[in-house]
């Protein structure tokens, strides 16, 4: 039996700053992952990752199979895109993107109702050894990106510069955003698969580095998951760290600080302190890519919030429209005031039910009048709460002041570029100042200036 109770003596790790929003995970934490029925139509943007848009490979009218490549990675930082259903290419045009401001070239694929999988995808698990290059190649081919929301191409993350010595791989099972339980459900329903995926990621990194430590970092509000992973750690030689439940515990820099007490330098990356961080969902996708040659064409998301009748964790085909999910979940409750793709703090507001699920979608939250209090922004009262909670040790109130005055150089000198856009400052601000929007704008202006 798994030991689901964490003893009080277990050391819990954390970082300075952060906030404690209401968790609201009770809505879906006990809901097993359900498979959403096949959509009739999918919308597949050729940019679902950090980096360059993929190059289209098919023409309108072409037939396509589930898992067939339709967009080819273009350049060093990019990712392949695959069809998530079988059928016919109905259109290829620029359409609004759910997470990126502006329009992106998007395939519209109409289902034939058959779900015919690409013949290269294996249906049975066969235990096999892979070398580092094979793993990186399979992960690249499968179009895997970070599934925690960042959508950075995983194959790139598995190929750090040779001069960087990597000694630790952290598998991020924090899922610190309120409402979301998709990672949690995956951890308790597919732990062995996640572990095998994590071992593949470790092997890939051992191409240039030896004896990498494998650590699972899980927040203490997920006792059942901690118990399960603890029960496997001796057999598979990894460590489990219990982290205090606090937002943004799952942010890479905060996770590294909490577990290893290492500080990623200003402007630096986890590579710079010998660490690679991957999400549990990404580890699962790597398991499927290596053992089954299965591309990333479906993922688990959480559907929650008081505005949706049936709150669920769903396995959905990428490209499924939000309206199909609403229908499956029994429709709306009350008047919908806000729809968010992702978590409530870092997620993006969505304005149309036609928008598709993309690789980086962790959840869809429907908020009605019970959850959305539309408060007007007021003047800063200089209470200093934003400074207390900033996990990056920044001065949000000063940064906002500089940006408002368009003094972008000063904002830069005050380390605006180190802001991880976690939203802790905006969450705590009694004046309801839209600090994150301000910082995003300020960063864009600095980057624009530097490119000139
Ligand atoms: S929390 Fe809001 S009101 Fe308080 S100092 Fe920061 S910006 Fe000003
Ligand atoms: S300034 Fe940036 S890093 Fe600091 S709390 Fe605000 S959003 Fe998070």
* Measured CA distances, 153 to 47, 66, 305, 362 (Å): 11, 21, 30, 16
Q: What distance in angstroms lies between residue 177's CA and the mean position of ligand 1's atoms?
A: 22
Cβ count within 10 A of residue 53: 20
17 lines ligand 2 (CB under 6 A): no
Q: Is 401 exposed, middle or buried (0-12, 13-18, 19+ CB in 10 A)?
A: middle
> DSSP states of 76-100 as a string?
SS---EE-SS-EEEEEEEEEE-SSS
Compute the distance from residue 177 Cα to the ligand 2 centre, in Å: 15
> What is the predicted pLDDT for the residue at 267?
86
Confidence category of residue 14, pLDDT binned at 50, 70, 90: confident
Residue to probe by mutation, ligand 1, list 390, 419, 430, most atoms within 8 Å of CB: 430
pLDDT single digits (tens) 55-95:
999 999 999 999 999 999 999 899 999 999 999 999 999 99
- Ligand 1 center–CA 294 separation, angstroms: 48
CA contacts within 13 A on the Cβ side of 47: 19
Atom of ligand 2 nearest to the CA of 424: 5
Q: What is the Cα–Cα distance from 350 to 326, expressed in whole angstroms?
A: 14
> Which protein residue's CA is at the shortest distance from atom 4 of ligand 2?
390
Q: Would you say residue 321 has pLDDT above 90? A: yes
Q: Which of 15, 439, 442, 443 for a ligand 2 pocket mutation test, highest count of atoms within 8 Å of Cβ? A: 439
Q: Nearest C-alpha to atom 6 of ligand 2 is from which residue?
A: 425
Q: For 342-449, list the strands marked E by DSSP.
A: 348-349, 363-368
Closest CA to 260 of 164, 389, 168, 158: 168
Complete DSSP assignment for 163-224:
TSPP-EEEEEE---SSS--HHHHHHHHSHHHHHHHHHHHHHHHTTT--S-EEEEEEETT-HH
Closest by Cα among 177, 176, 248, 189 to 218: 176
pLDDT tens per residue across span 201-217: 999 999 989 899 999 99
How many CB atoms sit inside 10 A of residue 135's CB?
24
236: which strand partners? Answer: none
Check if 430 has its Cβ closer than 6 Å to any atom of ligand 1.
Answer: yes
Residue 354 binned pLDDT confidence (cut-offs 50, 70, 90): very high
For range 45-57, the mean pLDDT: 95
Element (H, E) at 55: strand 55-56
Task: Give the Cα separation of 28 and 34 in Å (integer).
Answer: 12
| CA max distance for the chain | 63
With bands split at pLDDT 50, 70 and 90, how would you rate the model's confidence at 10?
low
Q: What is the DSSP letter of 149?
A: T
253-268 pLDDT per residue, tens: 999 999 999 999 988 9
- Model confidence at 452: pLDDT above 90: no
Provide the whole-model pTM: 0.93
19 is written with which tokens?
A: 């906030």
- In this predicted structure, the answer to whether residue 337 has a pLDDT above a threshold of 50 is yes
| Mean pLDDT along residues 9-37 | 90
Q: Is the pLDDT of residue 230 over 70?
A: yes
Residue 269 CB-density burial (10 A; 0-12 exposed, 13-18 middle, 19+ buried) = middle
295-309, 403-417, 437-451: least confidently modelled range: 437-451
For a mutational test of ligand 2's pocket, the pick from 399, 425, 435, 436, i.e. the residue with the most ligand atoms closer than 8 A to its C-beta, is 425
pLDDT at 398 over 90: yes
**CA 267 to ligand 1 centroid distance, Å:** 25
Mean pLDDT of 310-330: 98
CA pair distance 98, 341, nearest whole angstrom: 8
Q: Which residues contact 448 (CB under 8 A, 6 or more apart)?
A: none
Average pLDDT over residues 409-421: 94
DSSP-based helix, strand, coil % in the chain, nearest 5: 30, 20, 50
The string of pLDDT tens digits covering residues 379-396 is 999 999 999 999 999 999
d(CA 33, CA 342): 17
Q: Which domains does the chain have, with CATH numbers?
A: 12-18+123-292 (3.40.50.11540), 41-111 (2.40.50.100), 297-368 (3.10.20.600), 385-451 (no CATH)
Euclidean distance between CA atoms 130 and 138, whole angstroms: 10
Q: Which long-range contacts (CB under 8 A, 24 or more apart) does 129-135 make?
A: 130/200, 130/203, 130/290, 131/203, 132/203, 132/204, 132/205, 132/206, 132/207, 133/207, 134/290, 135/200, 135/201, 135/203, 135/204, 135/286, 135/290
Nearest CA to ligand 1 atom 7: 397
For residue range 155-183, what is the model confidence (pLDDT) as tens digits? 999 999 989 999 999 999 999 999 999 99
Residue 8: band (very low, low, confident or very high) from pLDDT cuts 50, 70, 90: very low
pLDDT at 397: 96
User: Which ligand sits closest to the CA of 404?
Assistant: 1
pLDDT at 451: 72
Q: Return the pLDDT at 11.
A: 73
Distance 436 CA to ligand 2 centre (A): 7
Bridge partners (DSSP) of residue 363 are 302
Give the bridge partners for 34, in sequence order.
314
Please spell the DSSP secondary structure of 320-359, one letter per residue: -BHHHHHHHTT-B-S-EEEEEES-TTT-EE---TTPBP-T
Is residue 6's pLDDT more than 60?
no
Q: How confident is the model at residue 338 (pLDDT cuts 50, 70, 90)?
A: very high
């Amino acid at each position: 039996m798994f030991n689901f109770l964490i003893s009080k003596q277990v050391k819990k790790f954390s970082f300075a700053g952060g906030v404690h929003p209401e968790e609201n995970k009770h809505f879906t934490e006990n809901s097993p992952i359900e498979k959403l029925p096949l959509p009739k139509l999918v919308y597949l943007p050729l940019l679902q990752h950090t980096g360059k848009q993929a190059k289209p490979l098919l023409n309108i009218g072409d037939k396509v199979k589930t898992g067939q490549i339709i967009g080819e990675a273009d350049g060093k930082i990019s990712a392949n895109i695959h069809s998530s259903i079988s059928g016919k290419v109905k259109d290829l045009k620029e359409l609004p993107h759910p997470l990126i401001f502006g329009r992106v070239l998007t395939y519209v694929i109409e289902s034939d109702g058959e779900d015919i999988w690409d013949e290269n995808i294996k249906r049975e698990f066969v235990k096999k050894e892979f070398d580092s290059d094979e793993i990186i190649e399979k992960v690249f081919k499968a179009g895997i990106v970070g599934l925690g929301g960042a959508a950075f191409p995983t194959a790139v993350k598995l190929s750090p510069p040779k001069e960087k010595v990597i000694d630790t791989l952290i598998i991020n099972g924090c899922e610190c955003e309120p409402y979301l339980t998709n990672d949690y459900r995956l951890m308790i329903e597919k732990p062995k698969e996640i572990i095998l995926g994590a071992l593949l990621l470790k092997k890939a990194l051992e191409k240039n580095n030896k004896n990498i430590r494998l650590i699972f970092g899980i927040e203490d509000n997920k006792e059942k998951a901690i118990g399960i992973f603890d029960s496997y750690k001796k057999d598979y030689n990894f460590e489990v760290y219990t982290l205090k439940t606090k937002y943004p515990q799952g942010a890479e820099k905060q996770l590294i600080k909490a577990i290893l007490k290492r500080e990623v330098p200003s402007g630096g990356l986890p590579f710079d302190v010998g660490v690679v961080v991957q999400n549990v969902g990404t580890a699962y996708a790597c398991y499927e890519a290596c053992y089954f040659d299965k591309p990333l064409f479906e993922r688990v998301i959480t559907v929650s919030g008081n505005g949706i009748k049936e709150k669920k964790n769903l396995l959905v085909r990428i490209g499924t429209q939000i309206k199909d999910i609403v229908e499956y979940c029994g429709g709306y409750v009350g008047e919908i005031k806000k729809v968010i793709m992702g978590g409530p703090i870092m997620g993006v507001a969505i304005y149309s039910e036609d928008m598709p699920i993309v690789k980086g979608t962790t959840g869809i939250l429907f908020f009605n009048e019970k959850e959305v209090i539309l408060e007007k922004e007021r003047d800063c009262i200089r209470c200093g709460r934003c400074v207390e909670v900033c996990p990056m040790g920044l001065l949000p109130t000063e940064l906002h002041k500089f940006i408002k005055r368009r003094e972008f150089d000063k904002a830069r000198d005050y380390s605006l570029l180190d802001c991880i856009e976690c939203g802790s400052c905006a969450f705590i601000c009694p004046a309801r100042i839209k600090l994150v929007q301000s910082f995003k704008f300020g960063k864009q202006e600095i980057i624009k200036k530097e490119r000139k």
